[in-house]
Amino acid sequence: MLQHHGASDVPRIGNDEAAGLVEVGKSSAGLGMVGHHRVPSRATDQPLQADEDRVRFRSSVALLPIGINGNRIPDEGILALREPPPVPVEGQWPSYSGHRQHQHPTGKALMSEQALKELLIKELQDTYSSETQIIEALPAMVEAASSPQLKQAFETHLRETDGQVKRLEQIFQILRAEPGGNTCEATQGLIEETEEIIDEGLPAEVLDVALIMAAQKVEHYEIASYGSLRTLAETCGMTDVARLLEQTLEEEKATDQKLNQLAEGDINMRAFRAA
């Protein structure tokens, strides 16, 4: 162990046995080279001050650990112990200090990635089925509505839905998948409920209220679907797909907000007064 010394007997590197931290980094005459660091040679050693069994070279920048283990420091320079290499972790490339770890996909990781992509395609097919069913159902809702504003809202959404279907087809082209092969039973059930409402023979004003409620059920389902699909696409690194899904998601939110405004603004109150 290094003993404390007074100012007159401060140890010099290369002459004493010690274990501690040596600061190196400044370039000056007589500096040798150890690894990638320039360090003082024995010929130009600088005085060191002992402090709690650690030695620090005064004119320096970086700290490098050295261990002598009771052996005399070699004359050719100071041996700096480098950071030991990290223990490899399955599925990751080794990472040294200052560098971000890079994922190296293993067989299991590749299987998970493929499973996520298959799930995304399956849910997109389900959404494609939902949109095509809505296109078929909206004309009947336009015809059943008595409020001009509600009719216009349904007609506008019908045109938007046409565009949303084309957007989904574009996504399937990106993913090299087919849009068919799945039936959205949730939308199918919601549309069947709407058809039953239309056939109930409700007063026109009350029917408008019921149509808004039925339409908003579908909108909320679509908002949940597109929000989940967008997030999954982002997770899989499919930025183009996520961007297209985000556009449709915003359209669905706007349609839901429009239906809210119609219900709160006039349609609900007209039905209340008619009753």
Over residues 145-180, the pLDDT tens digits come to: 999 999 999 999 999 999 999 999 999 999 999 998
pLDDT: is 248 or 31 the higher one? Answer: 248
Class of domain 107-274: mainly alpha
Task: Quote the pLDDT of residue 181.
Answer: 83
- Whole-number percent of the chain with pLDDT over 70: 60
Q: What is the mean pLDDT of residues 23-49?
A: 43
pLDDT: is 67 or 152 the higher one? Answer: 152
Q: Write down the domain spans for the chain.
A: 8-67, 107-274
Per residue in 224-241, pLDDT (tens digit) is: 999 999 999 999 999 999
Does this model's pTM top 0.85? My answer is: no
Sequential DSSP letters for the chain: -PPP--GGG--BTTTS--EEEEEEE---TTEEEETTEEEE-GGG--B-EEETTEEE-SSEEEEEEEE-TTSPPPTT---PPPPPPPPP-TTB----TTS---B---HHHHHHHHHHHHHHHHHHHHHHHHHHHHHHHHHHHHHH---HHHHHHHHHHHHHHHHHHHHHHHHHHHHT--S-S---HHHHHHHHHHHHHHTT---HHHHHHHHHHHHHHHHHHHHHHHHHHHHHHHHTT-HHHHHHHHHHHHHHHHHHHHHHHHIIIIIHHHHHHH-
pLDDT at residue 107 greater than cutoff 60: yes
Q: What is the mean pLDDT of residues 89-103?
A: 39
pLDDT grade for 111, boundaries at 50, 70 and 90: confident
